Structure formats: C-alpha cells, structure tokens
Amino acid sequence: MAKPKVALYWCASCGGCDEAVVDLAENILDVVAAVDIILWPIAMDFKYKDIEAMEDGSIAVSFINGAIRTGEQKHIAELLRRKSGLVVAFGSCSSLGGIPALANLTSRRKIFDRSYHNSPTVVNPENIEPKMKASVDGHVLKLPEFFKTVYKLNDVIDVDYYLPGCPPTPELIANAVTAILEGKLPPKGAILSPDKSLCTSCDRNETKPEDVTISKIKRVIDIEVDPEKCFLAQGIICMGPATRDGCGQSCINGNMPCTGCFGPTDSCRDQGAKMIATLGAILEGDDENAVDKVIEGIVDPAGTFYRYAMSASLLGGARKEVENE
Amino acid sequence: MGNYEPKIVAFVCNWCSYAGADKAGMLKLNYSTDVKLIRMMCSGRVDPQFVLDAFRKGADGVMILGCHPGDCHYRSGNLKAMRRFNLLKKMMSQFGIDGRRVKIDWIAAGEAERFQKVANEMAETVENLGQLHLRGYVESEVQ
C-alpha cells in the first residue's frame, strides 16, 4: 500500500513551527518511514504545479502553520484544502493569529507608511509601494495582495484540527501524527491539547496563596524572580489562568511567566477578556484612582493579553477609521 | 451621522441598579429607549467577554451599573467589576473604541432619578459620538 501523503506549509510565520517538526529529532525518521512528504517549502524542493496536478483529496493530511496575511497564503491554503483529506492548523499563528496578528492593532496604510516611507533606514524618493500589478518594459509583474487584516487559518478554509503552541511541542506533534496514522481521531474541530488551564498542572500552584493580590505590577526585569512561587503572587502577569494546558510548562520551568501561546480553553471565547476578568479579581485598590495606579503597570494590555490570539478574539483587531484603511 | 438610534446595552445588578430602574418605572420617570437593560445577579458577574461581545454584535455603548461601593450584596463584586472595567477601558482604547462608549456607575435601589439621569446622559453621549461601526476584522459580520 502506498504511504499516506503529507504536506507541510508555512504562511505568515517565523519558521519556528517547521523547526518544531525537526525537533522531533530521530522520531522524524519514523514519521518519514510511515508517510510520504510531498510539500515542505522550508526544508525540501517541490513545485506547486505538482500539487495542483494531484487528484483532489489525495493528500492524507496538510499541516499548515502561520497566519494568513497575503493572497498567496490564502491561495495555497485553499489549494491544500482541496487536495487534502485533513487539514491541521499547526501552531498559534494558524490557530489564533499569533504574533503576526498583533498587526491588526494598526492598519495596512500605517504598515506601508512605516515600511516604505517613514522608517529612518528607508530611502524612497519616488514613493514606490508594492502593487499587485506593475508593468516594466512591457512585462507584467504580479504580487500577491497584502490583506487589510491578518486572518487565522479557519477564516479562509475549513480546518479539521488545531495544534496550539508557539511552537507546538514535539510531544503534541507526535501524539497528533500517531492519532492520524492510527485513525484514532477526536471529533472534528478539536484542539489537540488538554482542555484545562495551565494553572491546573503548574507546579507552582501549590505555592499560590488562598487570596492572591497584586498591589504593584512587576516585570521579570524588575525583581529577582522566585523560581518556586506563583508568578501572579509575585506581581508578575502570568497568562496561565487564561491559557490552555499542554505545553509542558516550558516557560514556567525556565522561570518565565506564561505569555499565553496555547490560546484559551474551549469554555472561553476571548483570551484577553478572560485575563482581564482574572486580574480584576486580584488587583488591589478599592477606588478608581488606586486601581488606575496599579493598572499603570500594564503598559500594553492588548499586546499582553492577546499576544497570540488577536485573530481569535471577539474584536479581532482595532476599529478602522475609514473603510479601506 | 444624522438621527440614528444608538444601541446601549446596560448590565444592571439585581439588588441595586435593576431595583433602581424598576423604581424609575413605578414612578413613571422617562428614560431613553436606547438603553437596553440586562439583569445580572451582580456587576461582578459581568465578564469582560460580555462587553466585547455586545460591541461585536452592534452595540454603540455599554454600561455596567452596580451597587454603590460598600453596598454590594456579595460584599465586593462591584469592586471587582470596577477593576475589570478600568483595565478593559484602557485596553479598548488600543482597539480604537472611544472610552466614552463604556461607563460604569453605581445606582442604589432607591435612586430612581439617578438611574434616569445616568441612562439619559449615556444615551446623549453615545448619540453625539455617532454609530460605532466596527470596521476591521469583524466587518463582514457586523453592520
């Protein structure tokens, strides 16, 4: 029997998710022995036209990482959807928008202004900007569209499963691949990581006092961080209460607070709002002025609470002043 | 903007603010029909998700009304609401939503006139600000 075909693709991402596949280390040999990789742009040479020539549904599973920012990414995502039995959103960016989706707090116009005009290192006297179509010496050149917003994968195509994490851990990847190969899959739409908050498995949970209170927000550079004590009890914003478990606490074990890359649990629609709910219960201050003084310590609430989940949030991004911004 | 009718969602606590609104009704005090009440057991039950969801679904303004500080039926629910709300308000400015579109206030069960005043002032403020029209990520879902 022919080996099942697998595609790995990257959209708006940093390459860390592909690195995570390589981090399977020698286990990747078992994967390669079991499947046939037919597309993996970061690691191997394939042609899109070969994918286009394949029969619809002939790829067993496509792992797509990265958010959707350009027309090309949307095009390939749609192509892989057509050709694949299963599509797995791989990593925070394709599941939730990830770091690239923080750009939803600004606009395409402002991004172009900065990148092509105002940045101190840019010299652009002719005010040239990328266009979707340009003619040079009779030749027509085309570029993919740069969308107004950053989308998560399931905004553009139907997604079967989600592997959260920035990047997903080798354990979660191995579990997912095994489940697919053995046909032991959860219901469609499942997020392939435990549905509970990080705090439930955090070793520091034991040190959490009955009533955590924060009178002053601190950053990890402000204090010597106690390697045993709950971060919130030390006044450091830790996204653990609003974040899904399954990462193996790699940041916590490195004495750094959770930044929320696994996104919210199934019972929560909006990770940032949930974190605000949590902090509201533990911040100190019984009048507005006292509370505002504590809140001053949270310099960038949107960037802190939606660091990975902007596209999956209720508002999705900043309100645009004009239609085509 | 013209004469549009703003949609204002007001989350009111069962013990004080809803009772205050009820009393306004009994006294036949007129207040703006733009203000839609949702009764909660406590202002502390107002999850910030409810506020964001209201905006996503087309609200132009959101109010959270609770008991006066010190009067909360559950001791400190209103204070938790206030802390959440102040943080939420700070964050919403990053999302381009004017801070005047959200309001937290305290109304006791007997303060019918105060309820009337707060509701009408909010309606006027939001009417002057115009329709929110969330353009951006959710534009296809929200009008």
Whether B53 and chain A come into contact, CB under 8 Å, resolves to yes
Report whether pLDDT(B135) > 70.
Answer: yes
| Residue B3 counted as domain residue | no
| Residue B141 counted as domain residue | no
Burial (CB < 10 A; 0-12, 13-18, 19+), residue A50, is exposed
Whole-angstrom Cα distance, residue B142 to residue A177? 38
Model confidence over A226-239: pLDDT tens digits?
999 999 999 999 99
**Which chain A residues have a beta carbon less than 8 Å from that of B80?**
280-281
SS3 A125: coil
**Which chain A residues have a beta carbon less than 8 Å from that of B47?**
273-274, 277
| Residue A231 counted as domain residue | yes
Place of tokens 């569209």: A145
| Residue B111 counted as domain residue | yes
Place of tokens 């080798």: A170
Same domain, yes or no: A218 and A72: no
Report whether pLDDT(B59) > 70.
Answer: yes
Total tally of structural domains belonging to chain B = 1
Task: Grade residue B103 by pLDDT with cuts at 50, 70 and 90.
Answer: very high
**Contacting residues for A35 by C-beta, under 8 A, at least 6 apart:** A3, A4, A5, A6, A60, A181
Same domain, yes or no: A207 and A178: no
pLDDT of residue A32: 85
pLDDT of residue A76: 96
Nearest-Cα distance to chain A for B120, in Å, is 23
Place of tokens 């750009």: A103
pLDDT of residue A31: 83
Q: CATH code at B71?
A: 3.40.50
**Which chain B residues have a beta carbon less than 8 Å from that of A314?**
49, 52-53, 55-56
Report whether pLDDT(B136) > 80.
Answer: no
How far apart, in Å, are the Cα atoms of A161 and each of A20, A28, A167?
18, 21, 15
Same domain, yes or no: A29 and A166: yes
What domain range includes position A64?
A: 5-99+151-182
pLDDT of residue B2: 57
Whole-angstrom Cα distance, residue B95 to residue A320? 9
| Residue B135 counted as domain residue | no
For residue A186, whether the previous peptide bond is cis, meaning omega lies within 30 degrees of 0, is no
| Residue B14 counted as domain residue | yes
- Model confidence pTM above 0.90: yes
Closest CA to A276 of A245, A248, A313: A313
Whole-angstrom Cα distance, residue A185 to residue A191? 11
Nearest-Cα distance to chain B for A97, in Å, is 12
Residue B49 and residue A322: Cβ atoms within 8 Å? no
What domain range includes position B46?
A: 8-129
**Which residue in chain B is spatially nearest to A315 when comparing CA positions?**
B56
Total tally of structural domains belonging to chain A = 3
| Residue B114 counted as domain residue | yes
Residue A104 and residue B82: Cβ atoms within 8 Å? no
Nearest-Cα distance to chain A for B49, in Å, is 5
Same domain, yes or no: A122 and A48: no
**Which chain B residues have a beta carbon less than 8 Å from that of A285?**
83
Closest CA to A157 of A262, A284, A250, A64: A64
Whole-angstrom Cα distance, residue B93 to residue A69? 24
Tokens describing residue A107: 């606009």
Task: Grade residue B139 by pLDDT with cuts at 50, 70 and 90.
Answer: low
**Which chain B residues have a beta carbon less than 8 Å from that of A277?**
47-49, 84
Relative orientation angle of helices B48-56 and B77-94, to the nearest 10 degrees: 40
Report whether pLDDT(B141) > 50.
Answer: no
The reply to whether ipTM tops 0.85 is yes
| Residue A239 counted as domain residue | yes
Q: What is the CA radius of gyration of chain A?
A: 22
Please tell me what DSSP assigns to residue A166: S
Tens place of pLDDT for every residue, chain A, 325 residues?
689 999 999 999 999 999 999 888 888 888 888 899 999 999 988 999 999 999 999 999 999 999 999 999 999 999 999 999 999 999 999 999 999 999 999 999 999 999 999 999 999 999 999 999 999 899 999 999 999 899 999 999 999 999 999 999 999 998 998 898 888 999 999 999 999 999 999 999 988 888 889 999 999 999 999 999 999 999 999 999 999 999 999 999 999 999 999 999 999 999 999 999 999 999 998 899 999 999 999 999 999 999 999 999 999 999 887 776 7
Whole-angstrom Cα distance, residue A319 to residue A123? 31
